[in-house]
Structure 1
Amino acid sequence: MSDQVRKRRPYAARVPIEERRTQLLDAALRIIDRDGYDRVSIDAIAKEAGVTRPVVYGAFDGLGPLLMSLLERQQKRALGQLYGALPITALGSPPLVLVERAVPALHQMLLNDPVTWRAILQTPANVPDPVRQRIEANQDQVRAMIQMMVATLLPAGTDAELAAHGILALMRHVGALVLAEPERYDAERLTEAARQAVRMALPSTGLST
């Protein structure tokens, strides 16, 4: 053989387009989880998936559309998990009862799908504007759900919108702590902290028990 024969990149076998898109979305999610949004690129996704750039462009028109598809997929997954964990059907129960149901469920939700939630809880610095807008829209949807719950739990006159902003920010921070150190920030510790917060917020209303 001639010494001019070059090593070739392994050929990416033909697969159905939906299967290929899933493969590329999974690759992008792994990069985000491992390296952050700033390291996501067409080259990085192709390398992670073991394909060439043309294969990626054959499935998506560019990085922006690929990330938008990923966000849509992860939004459906995450919101489904969140709705399942939050005790929306028990909104008439006392706050302490809700806390004792919700906190362990949310803790387990994070541990059941850490890759999804690490990506959601990150704050991306360099992403296309449409992607950033989609991330913010997803957060607004979650915030609206929290606001609805807060409005039913807290005394009349409470600023439920502002409270929901604070709760969401706290959830994001605590969620990141749980994913980083799940044994240190276990469900029992978080539940007790939430109980104390409810008792402090509603000390004399009788609503906490």
Structure 2
Amino acid sequence: MFDVAGQRRNRAYAARMPREQRREQIIEGVVRVIAHQGVHKVSIDSVAREIGVTRPVVYGLFTDSNQLLRAALEDQGQRAMEQINTIVGHLNGEDPAELAVDYLEGFLQAVLEAPDRWRAIFMIADSSTPASRKRLEWARRAMIATFESYTRTVSKSSRNGSAIGSDPEMIARILYSLIWDAGRLALEEPKDFPPERILKFTSIPIRACFNQDIAKD
């Protein structure tokens, strides 16, 4: 009884905050749980403990762990796409290969600036429910579409005779695979694979994609 009473006396109650602000706080808690404990550890209880509130506070906005995961994936996926679109918006130049390398550099920087977000996204991609996989597939297609739009735009503006226009769809998928795995590697093994090392090597296959002679063969 003493322990129970003590717990009740010492329990920290969550300060009141607007509904949308609370929702954002909870989603950030979900992301931290995924990033540091794993997708399977997400629950009303674990998220409540992560953000320092009681379970009823979380239940006030989410009914179960599946809803928490869906909300986190939708929110973080949107924020990730905003990061990607920002990268595209800051690209300048005429050499498509150089622009692609700059894109990769920007992506690595974005990943390392929001490590929990991207770690959670990578982990959800590896262990997700059918509903989550559907959402991830949409995000994957959106990223590829962004890359394809980028390659087509570069092709039209390029003056160096690049053969990028020969197969922008294939190049977009190659870019997606390279960039996605490079981001994952930068997070999983940062000491062994810093951005500088990743860029130095990955720029070789990227440049090969845009090499006119190779593309003609």
Local SS of the residue matching 1:64: helix
Tell me the equivalent position of 1:63: 65
Please list every run of 5 or more consecutive structure 1 residues that lacks an aligned counterpart in the other structure.
none
Tell me the equivalent position of 1:138: 139
Tell me the equivalent position of 2:52: 50
Q: Does 1:7 align with 2:15?
A: no
Local SS of the residue matching 2:13: coil
Q: Which amino acid aligns with 1:174?
A: A
Decide which structure has greater helix share: 2
The answer to whether the Cα contact below 8 Å between 2:13 and 2:53 also exists between their aligned partners in 1 is yes
**What RMSD, in angstroms, separates the aligned Cα atoms of the two structures?**
2.9
Deviations 1:126-182 (A, max 9, x none): 43x433322221222111111223345444442x33443333232222111111233
Alpha-carbon distance in 2 for matches of 1:71, 1:164? 23
CA pair 46-5 structure 1, distance change in 2 beyond 3 A: closer
- Identity value in percent: 29
State the TM-score, normalizing by the size of structure 1. 0.79
Tell me the equivalent position of 2:108: 107
Q: Which amino acid aligns with 2:79?
A: R
Please list every run of 5 or more consecutive structure 2 residues that lacks an aligned counterpart in the other structure.
156-162
CA pair 99-14 structure 1, distance change in 2 beyond 3 A: closer
Local SS of the residue matching 2:86: helix
Alpha-carbon distance in 1 for matches of 2:29, 2:202? 36
Deviation at 1:60, TM superposition (A): 1.8
Moved over 6 A (4+): none
Task: Count the aligned residue pairs.
Answer: 203
Alpha-carbon distance in 1 for matches of 2:186, 2:3? 54
Alpha-carbon distance in 1 for matches of 2:126, 2:132? 10
Deviation at 1:25, TM superposition (A): 1.2
The answer to whether the Cα contact below 8 Å between 2:34 and 2:120 also exists between their aligned partners in 1 is yes
Alpha-carbon distance in 2 for matches of 1:76, 1:197? 29
Q: Which has the higher relative contact order, 1 or 2, with Cα contacts under 8 A spaced 6 or more apart?
A: 1
State the TM-score, normalizing by the size of structure 2. 0.77
